[in-house]
Structure 1
């Protein structure tokens, strides 16, 4: 695919076909993603790629703990809730998704099912857990570098016909993830990426989130 086609065509995929993804294809995608730049070439990222029964156990553990009222145990730092224009954008994409999925504002069952879908990694056949070396926890560059490689990962996957959605729901219950994946203690769990073949009949997959115009996001100095 042409680079512009990848960037302009990629969407967050929340519905997947029940079709496995080969290890060789995932390795190909990761090799492309790992060409991402990092501060001083530190390459702080680790990828834990999970499928099959281990992933099913994570899904069950996540949802059982959430439904039981277990507080989340996300390991990477969390900021304050979004406010102002950032909250407006968050609400905006939620409205797009709920409209596509025909989820009414007062339909508590459908809303809960949608939330739990996230904790099940959107029922994707593959989950890629992004972690980084704990000894780098004090470095601001590390989170930036992992964000860059994750963006490269979802774009590389899209170029090969795979869909992804970056999320935190899948790693909110970190003890469950650590238990079933065997992530070593010297790594910090950062994010999860659900991955698989897009189900084009799933309504939310057609949603294209709105983007700011360049004129609203960028200032140009010295270009007169």
Structure 2
């Protein structure tokens, strides 16, 4: 694909075919993604590419602990509920997804099932956990760099026919992730990326999130009118 085909075609994938992703394909994706920019070329990231039984154990433990009411232990800073236009966009994509899936507002079971899919990393056949060195914790540069490689991973994957969704529900219980992925104590868990071949029959996969206009996002400085 050309770059603009990747950027304009890519969308978040929440339903996957039960087909394993070959390791050589993932290696290509990761090699491309590691060209992502980083502050002063520090490249703070580590990538744990997980599939099969270890991923199933993470799904199971994450789901069971969340349903049991164990407080989340995500290792990045969170914030209070979104407000204003940010909340409007959050609600907007939820409405798009629920409409595509036929989940009514009063359908508590359907909404619960959707939440559980997030805990299971949307049943994707593969997950990439992004971490960074704990010695860099306490500033925002390393997480920013991890965001850069996360973006590079989803775009590189799309160029190889793979879909992704960046999600934090799948790592809400960090002890589970650490145990079954073998993540070292001197690393901070930043985010997870579910990945696999898109199931074209899964309705939510057709959803394309609405984007604010360039005029709402950009301040032009120093240009002639």
- TM tier relative to shorter chain: over 0.9
Listed as ranges, the gaps of 5+ residues in structure 1 are none
User: For residues 100 and 143 of structure 1, what CA distance do their matches in structure 2 show?
Assistant: 32
TM-superposed CA distance for 1:221, in Å, is: 1.0
SS in 1 for 2:193: strand
CA distance in 1: counterparts of 2:160 and 2:132, whole angstroms: 26
**Deviation at 1:139?**
2.4
Is 1:172 aligned to 2:172, yes or no? yes
Q: State the Cα deviation string for residues 122-145 of structure 1 (Å, max 9, x = none).
A: 000001000000000122211111
Q: What's the secondary structure of 1:190's corresponding residue? A: strand
Q: Could you say what secondary structure the match of 2:81 adopts?
A: coil
Separation in structure 1 between the aligned mates of residue 82 and residue 23 of structure 2, nearest angstrom: 37
Give the Cα separation in 1 of the matches to 2:140 and 2:57: 33
Task: State the match for 1:119 in structure 2.
Answer: 119
Task: Report the secondary structure of 1:199's partner residue.
Answer: coil
Tell me if 1:67 matches 2:67.
Answer: yes
- Report the counterpart of residue 84 of structure 1 in structure 2: 84
Listed one character per residue, the Cα deviations across residues 167-201 of structure 1 (whole Å, up to 9, x for unaligned) are: 00011000110111110000000100000000000
For 1:32-71, what aligned pairs fall within 5 Å after superposition? 32-71=32-71
For residues 146 and 179 of structure 2, the distance between their equivalents in structure 1, rounded to whole angstroms, comes to: 23
Aligned residue in 1 for 2:105: 105
Alpha-carbon distance in 2 for matches of 1:181, 1:39: 27
Distance in 2 between residues matched to 1:221 and 1:55, nearest whole Å: 48
- For residues 43-64 of structure 1, the C-alpha deviation after alignment (integer angstroms, 9 at most, x for no partner) is 0001001100001111111111
| Residue equivalent to 1:222 | 222
Give the deviation of 1:13 after TM superposition.
Answer: 0.1
TM-score, with length taken from structure 2:
0.98
In 1: Cα distance, 2:190 partner to 2:81 partner: 18
Deviations 1:66-117 (A, max 9, x none): 1111111111111222111101000000000000000010111010000000
Superposition CA RMSD, Å? 0.6
The farther-off stretch of 78-87 and 118-127 is 78-87
> Which residue is equivalent to 1:23?
23
Inter-partner Cα distance in structure 2 for 1:138 and 1:55: 29
Q: Distance in 2 between matches of 1:200 and 1:23?
A: 23
Aligned pair 1:10/2:15, yes or no? no
Cα distance in 2, alignment partners of residues 80 and 120 from structure 1: 24
Q: Which moved more, 1:90-99 or 1:63-72?
A: 63-72
Q: Secondary structure at the match of 1:138?
A: coil
Residues paired across the two proteins, number: 224
Match of 2:155 in 1: 155
TM-score by length of 1: 0.99
Corresponding residue for residue 201 of structure 1: 201
